[in-house]
Amino acid sequence: MRLPKSLSGLPRETFVLALVAFCVALGFGIVVPAVPLFALQFGVGTTAAGAVVSAFALMRLVSGLAGGKLVDRVGERTGLLVGLGVVAVSSLLAGLSVSYPQLLVLRAVGGIGSAVFTIASTTLLLRVATAAQRGQTQSVYRGGFLLGGIIGPAFGGAVIGISLRAPFFLYAGTLALAMAVAATMLPRGALTSEPAQVSLGVAEEDAPPHVVVPEVRTALRTALANPAYRAALAGNFAVGFSVLGVRSTVVPLLVVQDLHLAAGWVGAAFVVAALVQAVLLLPAGRAVDQIGRRPMLLAGGAVTAASLLGLALVTRPATLLLAMAVFACGAAVLGVAPAALVGDVVEGKGGTAVAVWQMASDLGSVIGPLAAGLLIDRGSFGTALVVSGAVVAACTLLGVRIPPRTVAP
């Protein structure tokens, strides 16, 4: 099968990492519904069951810097395999847990491995792509996650009916498959990015055989001094806050408690959003590369913020689905533009800078549900959504400080 012309020139690693992402998201979608239900079987309350879910996200956040340093030290391919291995083993053991503390600790360990995997894969993807390809490579990579995230929950519901331990074992299996893909299809040799060669003034093929061309490591302090990197941090925080946090928390409660609709409408709303986002990911990536990072970041943030305000006004199923479709349009762009900006700034090897960028999303996903819940309890669903829209708009407005550039370099 021939690839579309727009994808045929992308680095081979793009499609390998997209396949890895699909395997990971497939297993994650299977296990997520089972985690709190499995915890309840140990006789704990709902708060303790929710803590098992939070432990994974929290450890992703707090281990980000260490994960970035590890990737800088051992390389992206090794870091990727180590991260996947940690999550696979911890998931297998979690399925064998005989007490609540065991389950809690093992899910937390899995969060550490997830952080290392994410940082390694993102760093590798940013290194192999040219500046004019970064938006498209990110859209393909995120498409793998999105497709796995759509298929996984469908299997998860059936598997839970058989056993609450089985999803953990299947998750470990899909992670082992992801490791096999990465181990066999990613190059074993060290990668030296093109920007690193240019910045040294020496091309690898022109260097004498005995000269090792060193890689450029973008220091975190250097990255933070760049307005594009700061805009990327804020944009990724907005992604975690809105997509992973507020939407996942508020929409189910809004549908059932405020709109008084059947729970099936929650699934319908999320399916519509996933399908729209899947259709728009590749066009969003091309737009980020061809139109520019700054205008697309601002546009994605504006559409996402507007959709959150629209959700505050929904009164019936039709307007709910429309608002979720608009949300998906903004999320497709907002999920790609910040990653392309980080690639522009980091250029060479910058695991720590990428780690901090990823931590911004994790922080948003931790704060978003807590803030939304508090605003709902103290105010209303409308208040929570309006404030969330304002937060996303404020974050993406940092993109105004990015130097204007019609087309990505």
- CATH number at 107 reads 1.20.1250.20
Q: Is residue 261 part of a domain?
A: yes
Distances (CA, A) of 34 to 157, 256, 272: 9, 21, 23
Q: Which residues of the chain have pLDDT under 70?
A: 1-6, 8, 46, 154, 157, 189-218, 244, 348-350, 405-409
In 3D, which of 138, 81, 148, 141 has the Cα closest to residue 113? 81
| Partners of residue 349 on adjacent β-strands | 217
Question: What are residue 311's phi and psi, to 5 degrees?
Answer: -60, -30
Q: Is residue 206 part of a domain?
A: no
In this structure, the answer to whether residues 38 and 187 fall within a common structural domain is yes
In this structure, the answer to whether residues 123 and 234 fall within a common structural domain is no
The per-residue pLDDT for 2 is: 59
In this structure, the answer to whether residues 132 and 263 fall within a common structural domain is no
pTM: 0.75
Contact 336, 288 (CB under 8 A): yes
The residue written with tokens 């490579």 in the block is 137
In this structure, the answer to whether residues 148 and 30 fall within a common structural domain is yes
Q: Is residue 360 part of a domain?
A: yes
Question: What are residue 313's phi and psi, to 5 degrees?
Answer: -105, 0
Domain count, the chain: 2
Q: Is residue 24 part of a domain?
A: yes
**Cα–Cα dist 43/92, whole Å:** 21
Helix (H, G, I), strand (E, B) or coil at 202: coil
**Cα–Cα dist 308/312, whole Å:** 7
The per-residue pLDDT for 348 is: 54
Q: Is residue 207 part of a domain?
A: no
In terms of residue numbers, what domain contains 369? Answer: 220-401
Q: Is residue 266 part of a domain?
A: yes
Q: Is residue 1 part of a domain?
A: no
In this structure, the answer to whether residues 281 and 388 fall within a common structural domain is yes
**Which residue, of 153, 173, 191, is where some domain finishes?**
191
Q: What is the CA radius of gyration of the chain?
A: 21
The per-residue pLDDT for 219 is: 74
